[in-house]
Amino acid sequence: MVNELIEEIPNTEVELINYLKNLVDNFCLDVILDLIESEE
């Protein structure tokens, strides 16, 4: 599911995409959730 959301990010945001994919690959979902919550 998270990977599907990452695919929605515009290709112009390569650094963000790579950063988020790295977090997912390393099971750092807590960091992703913190990022989402900080934007709310």
**Angle formed by the axes of helices 14-25 and 29-39, nearest 10°:** 130
| Residue spans per domain, the chain | 2-39
- The reported pTM is 0.67
Q: Where are the beta strands (DSSP E) in 1-40?
A: none
Q: pLDDT at residue 40 above 70?
A: no
Q: Which tokens hold the place of 26?
A: 């390393």
Percent of the chain at pLDDT > 90 equals 40
pLDDT digits 0-9 by tens, 15-26: 999 998 988 888
- pLDDT of amino acid 24: 86
Separation of alpha carbons 10 and 40, rounded Å: 21
The answer to whether residue 34 scores a pLDDT higher than 70 is yes
